[in-house]
Structure 1
């Protein structure tokens, strides 16, 4: 993944984007920089312990969102949401390693392409099919020489561009970056983690790779700055879902679904500002279209937050939604679907099958294994962390303002009965609108995973490796529970 700044100098003399027509104002370029499993709280500009000078610079020169969310705490559904402007179940891209199966779905590529843009993706993909997402695919991993060629080509053609630069950092196993910058003994751990040497070592290694992502951000921004593209380019940094350590990725707690979002856009965004407006990844494409006068069609789930960027409004959404599908996840509990709705103050989580212990790939990492060993030796914090992670009630309700790490479940508190009922009503309405049938949708998830599909969604129920069609799994003795009972 190592890349070089050797190509930056040649960009210094490049010509900024020019108008599409004589006398017309130049259309803005868009650059979206996205991390891979980065907990937003770890970024320097969010008060975190990672060394992130490039991202901090963007925040100082732009707008930082305190309440940005994505609808699924897994890489593939998150990216499909971002690029289509639609929620996961609606497009069919809701388990991990998924693909869009909804007919006639189009993405940021066709949307901005219709407005005269070239749209490219450099780095991590994890999206399908290409018929829905026909980016100009550059190298994976990121090669800034190719990024330079793409920018130069757009300038030669006098066309505006949208470029997604998708890092593989800081996705596990955290093998890159300067670990000597971080002393494990001095790191402050999240209160949902057990304090073990392995937890600290893994966190140190992860933070070092967060800094690697920041290096890539700095490298990309340097190309834009040195080319003179900054005045006419909106740069958005997104941290994606949280780290794969317990209670972040794979979960609907805020450490999993809340994202860092910073936007630098000279002349549009006031430098050094912060907003508490709630936005979602599904809002990004409608916002870009709105910025260039494009058509925002009814099939979008997202809404433009251009007014928030311009500073003409301080609010956007009252509720945000999320979905987690454990089916098909490595080492996962095959029937542990989760849905959630969040307001500015409260979070309501519905666990479909709480009688099952929760499990996923994070239970196999060094951190979690160290918790098990510590708990066996009588470490009280480890036992609490494990119990909190594995054993969940059907409904969880949290006051995010007073309990940001979601440690105190307030379900059943009579003082919050109206709050709980309101959140449940909004969640039910959202699921109905999305065609989400709860546990029935969970059990159908394998049909929406690439490894069970042939081609780009043809015969999506077939498992190529076994020849078993999950839609006929009942004959094989599989668990065919219809779903959890109606939750309070």
Structure 2
């Protein structure tokens, strides 16, 4: 009997080994990273969105692996891209604010993968600097200006030429789209009648907000059509089976509670991976991953050792991609420095994927973000819905509550994401969750010390200026 059991155990182990080896890649893949711009992850149908029409992203999800717990450290365009490309958190790479820069001497995917024999290119929005840190080849055809009105038509011939230039050399191509970043002027709004929209709970229901939300959804559909065009070029070049495609939505949209916040709708991102024959199709994973993990993952898939390019803050989730594991990191970490997007308002937070602990470092201050709430480029409001929130808040308790939630915040917040992904119910003061809050607070303190993050002194004009000039901060 015992011998029979041992035989079955050995047989099982052998079969698992064969299955594992079968999932291992036989050659180094190309990498195609497609980025949306300011797209709240759960406005996409693949993450439960009730409004948007995205057939190409939906098809990509059916053909690949959907990450349900993917995050970025700062919900702003430049810092999150710097994190993605370098594998380093904002304090380590130097890009701790929007419209800043990474430190001279920092390396990125353009260096890591070039050293492994890859061509590296970037089409569309760049929004990282300096060029010495991000020396990607400039690939033409997609608009680099996220505030263009309208966005010029794209041309796929530049990415086609880049993909097919040298069949014997793998490539990494990033196509950074500029939709659905404001202004919301692209796409067919008639597809989204305002009376039919299902507004999520963090958005105030005013007529102008409905109009703007419809315009935002139209841009999501326009962006989805660009995703389809890019994937079509890959197919026509015969590179579908040899290319790992990663689609990500970047941070949340320019609605209160999304971009420029540490709330879940700001720092949670969409991430979908497809590599036929290697990445399991039609699956979802609860593995916790962060933008900093992408660079070491690509290094390892390219045949390199991430330790040779480190120390990096991220770690490779290669085994999750290949279906060999369904877990990765234990925590993801977030930071927000509000200057120069508004008066200083530093925020730090941490999640384990189920619970999210947020610490507002200056809760005595009023939160103001100039793009959402103020003026940009003269007298024209950047987002015209915000004045209607203010106008309706005096006699509408729900809208008043949303305005107050955005502008006046407590010192600590705690949310259970599985039950409250919009983070509308703060549990920080509930005695029954005190142990969970303490555990996450301790982990956040550990991370801040590791990153040498001083907190409040970092979110200042002086620190921003010093970092841009390459001067020591503290």
2:228 is the alignment partner of 1:227: no
> Which residue matches 2:150?
none
Per the TM alignment, residue 412 of structure 1 is displaced from its structure 2 partner at its CA by 2.5
Instruction: Give the equivalent residue in structure 1 for 2:337.
Output: 325
* CA deviation after TM superposition for structure 1 residue 143, in Å: 3.6
1:152 to 164, 178, 189: 164
- Tell me the distance in 2 between the aligned counterparts of 1:320 and 1:338: 15
Q: Give 1:93's match in structure 2, choosing from 82, 91, 95.
A: 95
Secondary structure of 2:166's match? Answer: helix
Match of 1:169 in 2: 179
Q: In the TM superposition, what is the alpha-carbon distance from 1:458 to its structure 2 partner?
A: 5.4
- What is the distance in 1 between the residues matched to 2:162 and 2:321? 27
| Distance in 2 of aligned mates of 1:169 and 1:406 | 25
CA contact 2:34–2:246 (8 Å) conserved in 1: yes
Measure how far apart 1:170 and its partner are.
Answer: 0.4
Residue 400 of structure 1: how far off its partner (Å):
1.5
Corresponding residue number in structure 2 for 1:478? none
How does 1:410-429 map onto structure 2 within 5 Å?
A: 410-429=427-446
- Name the residue aligned to 2:350: 341
Do 2:28 and 2:301's aligned partners in 1 also have CA atoms closer than 8 Å?
Answer: no
Alignment of 1:124-163 (within 5 A): 124-139=125-140, 141=143, 143-155=155-167, 158-163=168-173
- What is the CA–CA distance in structure 2 between the aligned matches of 1:182 and 1:114, rounded to whole Å? 47
Counterpart CA distance in 2 for 1:397 and 1:69 is 17
Conserved 8 A contact 1:108-1:285: yes
- What is the CA distance between 1:110 and its match in structure 2? 0.7
Unaligned 5+ runs, structure 1: 1-23, 462-470, 472-488
Q: Contact 2:35/2:249 (CA < 8 Å) preserved in 1?
A: yes
- Contact 2:30/2:244, CA 8 A, preserved across alignment: yes
> What's the RMSD between the two structures over aligned residues?
1.7
2:278 and 2:259 map into 1 onto residues whose CA distance is 33
Task: Tell me, yes or no, if structure 1 residue 369 matches structure 2 residue 387.
Answer: yes
Pairing 1:263–2:273 present: yes
For 1:71, the equivalent position in structure 2 comes to: 73
Q: Which position in structure 2 is the counterpart of 1:213?
A: 223
TM-score by length of 1: 0.85
SS of the equivalent of 2:97 reads coil
Aligned partners of 1:63 and 1:264 also within 8 Å: yes
Q: In the aligned structure 2, how far is the partner of 1:448 from the partner of 1:290?
A: 35
What SS is found at the alignment partner of 2:270? strand
Render the CA deviation track for 1:188-234: whole Å, top value 9, x for unaligned: 11111211011111110000001111111100100011111001011
**Structure 2 counterparts to residues 390-409 of structure 1, below 5 A:** 390-409=407-426
SS of alignment partner, residue 276 of structure 1: strand
**Which 5+ residue runs of structure 2 have no aligned equivalent?**
1-24, 144-153, 375-382
